[in-house]
């Protein structure tokens, strides 16, 4: 079925004959060049290198998450071994028992329950707590605001180190009443954000990011970058992928490794890139991602994500989807992304299918299936779902396996808009004439006199 401008709309065969395949008519590279392009292999995650990107509690939680969700027994034990070693550097006996229970003797006697270590840590914790309580009571008696603030802050650090996140959050938030400078407020907000992320309470994250942003005089670039990361994670958790992408794209290079207790620069590239692909149109993708100098520095840390974004924009969908397929197993081991991988992948694939069909009057589904490395039957089902959902304006010729675009009758649509505008103008003129006649004959005045 040809549209009104059918003569100027090339068919798929004509586009390929002319050597173009993107919605912007971008030239396709030669077959040999495409074959030589490096595709990331589906290698297992390098756990040691991955864990090296993080510090503190998030490092331990990410290693435990990998152990819980990985199908490879060797990787599970490696993650648990590293988690065990990291926990013994700290004071969290609750996490220690949890890891020892998961190891279950599989790593030998060196990674068995160390009861003496646990007892020592708990005894020191009781002594430390008593000392902190004594100091805080003294500060409150003397009514020294700064000392009280620091006392509650020390309590927050103490509870956080020992895994009592609820108590840590309460202690950090109590410092709010004793903050005397903008920097104190920012510190309180960052501490509350950190604990809220660990507790997976992202509504608190959004609240304290907003509170921190209300004190702009204390917001230096590294802090702004941290707040953008925290807000991005909150939007990601709420499945607001477009808002998440915007926040991650706003992260400046000042972040560096300064927020390793929450997120790594590689995560900013991965989260931001995938959310942008799933939610941005082509113009936004070009202006806000590909041409974004600051974000380009993050993408250099994850070449696979950089390449799949460029492939998507260049309409090399098979290569883009191949990159995604190779990354999928590792992305499912990410503590923040695992719950969103399938949704993001579906949205990216649907966008690719929609963009592929946009420039054409008709599309040979066999060639389209080949471009997406799928079967014709599978492609037909995907297109049916998109047509039913009104995302693609087209109809399918199942016998000949051709997709025909449904172009709007622009001539008829123009006439309809003109008629509607004329009717609206006629109604407005009649209303004005009626009002002028009412005023002319003092109708309202006489009516009021009768009453």
Each residue's pLDDT tens digit, 393-419: 888 888 888 888 776 556 777 888 899
Q: Give the per-residue pLDDT at 357.
A: 83
Which of 338, 372, 394 is the last residue in one of the domains?
Answer: 338
Q: Is residue 343 part of a domain?
A: no
Pick the most confident of 30-39, 138-147, 210-219, 226-235.
226-235
Instruction: Give the count of beta carbons closer than 10 Å to the beta carbon of residue 427.
Output: 10
Average pLDDT of the chain is 84
Count CA within 13 A, CB hemisphere, residue 439.
Answer: 6
Q: Is residue 253 part of a domain?
A: yes
Residue range 373-388, pLDDT digits in tens: 888 888 888 888 888 8
Same domain, yes or no: 249 and 310: yes
Residues 354 and 392 sit within 8 Å (Cβ to Cβ)? yes
SS3 114: coil
Please give the structure tokens belonging to residue 434. Answer: 């009626």
What is the C-alpha to C-alpha distance for residues 195 and 160, in angstroms, rounded to an integer?
A: 8
Same domain, yes or no: 309 and 382: no
Q: Is residue 271 part of a domain?
A: yes
State yes or no: pLDDT of 242 exceeds 70.
yes
What region, left, alpha or beta, does residue 215 occupy, with left being phi > 0 and alpha being psi -120 to 50 degrees?
beta
What is the C-alpha to C-alpha distance for residues 62 and 414, in angstroms, rounded to an integer?
A: 58
Structural element, H or E, at residue 59: helix 56-69
Higher per-residue pLDDT: 205 or 390: 205
Same domain, yes or no: 320 and 250: yes
Q: Give the per-residue pLDDT at 233.
A: 95
Same domain, yes or no: 251 and 323: yes
Confidence of residue 365 (pLDDT cuts 50, 70, 90): confident
DSSP label at 290?
I
Q: Quick one: what percent of the chain has pLDDT higher than 90?
A: 47
Q: Give the per-residue pLDDT at 241.
A: 94
Return the CA Rg of the chain: 30
Same domain, yes or no: 318 and 253: yes
Q: Give the per-residue pLDDT at 237.
A: 94
Confidence of residue 11 (pLDDT cuts 50, 70, 90): very low
Which of 338, 353, 375 is the last residue in one of the domains?
Answer: 338
Same domain, yes or no: 292 and 325: yes
Structural element, H or E, at residue 402: strand 402-405
Q: Is residue 296 part of a domain?
A: yes
Same domain, yes or no: 328 and 255: yes
List, in sequence order, every beta strand (DSSP E) within 76-173: none
Q: Is residue 27 part of a domain?
A: no
Q: What share of the chain is helix, strand, coil (3-state, %, to 5)?
A: 70, 5, 25
Q: Give the per-residue pLDDT at 46.
A: 87
Provide mean pLDDT across the span 363-382. Answer: 84
- The domain of 252 spans 239-338
Q: Is residue 56 part of a domain?
A: no
Higher per-residue pLDDT: 409 or 185: 185
Residue range 256-311, pLDDT digits in tens: 899 999 999 999 999 999 999 999 988 899 999 999 999 999 999 999 999 999 99
Q: Give the per-residue pLDDT at 2.
A: 41
Please give the structure tokens belonging to residue 281. Answer: 């149109």
Q: Is residue 213 part of a domain?
A: no
Of the candidates 57, 40, 56, 69, the one whose C-alpha atom is nearest the C-alpha of residue 339 is: 69
Same domain, yes or no: 331 and 401: no
Residue range 91-122, pLDDT digits in tens: 899 999 999 999 988 888 888 888 999 899 99
Instruction: Give the count of beta carbons closer than 10 Å to the beta carbon of residue 38.
Output: 8
State yes or no: pLDDT of 225 exceeds 90.
yes
State yes or no: pLDDT of 432 exceeds 80.
yes
Same domain, yes or no: 316 and 384: no
Q: Is residue 51 part of a domain?
A: no
Same domain, yes or no: 244 and 294: yes
Same domain, yes or no: 371 and 301: no
Number of domains in the chain: 2
Q: Give the per-residue pLDDT at 387.
A: 84
- Sign (positive or negative) of CA dihedral 317, 323, 326, 327: negative
State yes or no: pLDDT of 444 exceeds 80.
no
Structural element, H or E, at residue 397: strand 394-397
Q: Give the per-residue pLDDT at 409.
A: 58
Q: Quick one: what percent of the chain has pLDDT higher than 70?
A: 88
> How many Å separate Cα 147 from the centre of its chain?
39
Of the candidates 101, 110, 126, 183, the one whose C-alpha atom is nearest the C-alpha of residue 149 is: 183
Provide mean pLDDT across the span 76-83. Answer: 92
**Sequence-distant (≥ 6) Cβ neighbours of residue 198 within 8 angstroms:** 57, 58, 61, 165
Provide mean pLDDT across the span 340-349. Answer: 92
- Using the structure block, give the residue that is written with the tokens 């959902």: 389
Residue range 50-64, pLDDT digits in tens: 999 999 899 999 999
pTM exceeding 0.75: yes
Same domain, yes or no: 400 and 321: no
**Sequence-distant (≥ 6) Cβ neighbours of residue 92 within 8 angstroms:** 57, 60, 161, 162, 163
């Amino acid at each position: 079925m040809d549209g009104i401008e059918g003569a100027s709309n090339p068919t798929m065969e004509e586009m390929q004959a002319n050597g173009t395949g993107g919605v912007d008519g971008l030239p396709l590279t030669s077959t040999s060049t495409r074959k030589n392009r490096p595709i990331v292999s589906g290698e297992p995650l390098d756990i040691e290198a991955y864990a090296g990107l993080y510090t503190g509690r998030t490092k331990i939680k990410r290693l435990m998450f990998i152990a819980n969700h990985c199908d490879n027994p060797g990787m599970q034990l490696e993650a648990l071994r590293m988690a065990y070693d990291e926990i013994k550097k700290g004071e969290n006996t609750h996490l220690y028992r949890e890891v020892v229970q998961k190891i279950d003797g599989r790593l030998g006697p060196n990674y068995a329950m160390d009861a003496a270590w646990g007892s020592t840590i708990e005894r020191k914790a009781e002594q430390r707590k008593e000392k902190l309580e004594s100091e805080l009571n003294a500060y409150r008696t003397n009514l020294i605001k700064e000392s009280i603030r620091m006392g509650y802050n020390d309590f927050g650090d103490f509870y956080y180190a020992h895994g009592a996140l609820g108590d840590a959050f309460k202690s950090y938030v109590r410092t709010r009443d004793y903050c005397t400078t903008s920097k104190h407020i920012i510190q309180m907000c960052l501490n509350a954000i950190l604990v809220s992320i660990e507790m997976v309470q992202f509504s608190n994250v959004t609240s304290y990011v907003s509170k921190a942003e209300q004190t702009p005089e204390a917001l230096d670039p590294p802090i702004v970058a941290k707040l953008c990361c925290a807000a991005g994670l909150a939007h990601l958790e709420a499945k607001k992928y477009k808002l998440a992408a915007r926040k991650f794209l706003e992260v400046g290079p000042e972040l560096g490794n300064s927020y390793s207790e929450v997120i790594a620069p590689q995560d900013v590239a991965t989260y931001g890139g995938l959310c942008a692909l799933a939610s941005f149109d082509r113009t936004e993708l070009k202006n806000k991602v590909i041409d974004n100098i600051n974000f380009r520095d993050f993408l250099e840390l994850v070449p696979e994500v950089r390449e799949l974004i460029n492939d998507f924009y260049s309409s090399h969908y098979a290569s883009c989807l191949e990159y995604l397929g190779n990354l999928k197993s590792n992305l499912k081991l990410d503590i923040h992304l695992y719950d969103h991988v399938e949704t993001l992948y579906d949205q990216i694939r649907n966008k690719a299918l929609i963009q592929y069909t946009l420039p054409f009057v008709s599309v040979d589904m066999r060639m389209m299936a080949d471009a997406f490395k799928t079967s014709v039957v599978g492609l037909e089902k995907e297109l049916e779902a998109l047509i039913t959902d009104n995302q693609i304006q087209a109809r399918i010729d199942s016998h000949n396996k051709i997709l025909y675009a449904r172009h709007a009758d622009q001539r008829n649509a123009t006439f309809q808009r003109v008629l509607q505008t004329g009717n609206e103008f006629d109604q407005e003129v009649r209303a004005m004439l009626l009002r002028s006649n009412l005023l002319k004959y003092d109708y309202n005045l006489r009516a009021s006199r009768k009453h």
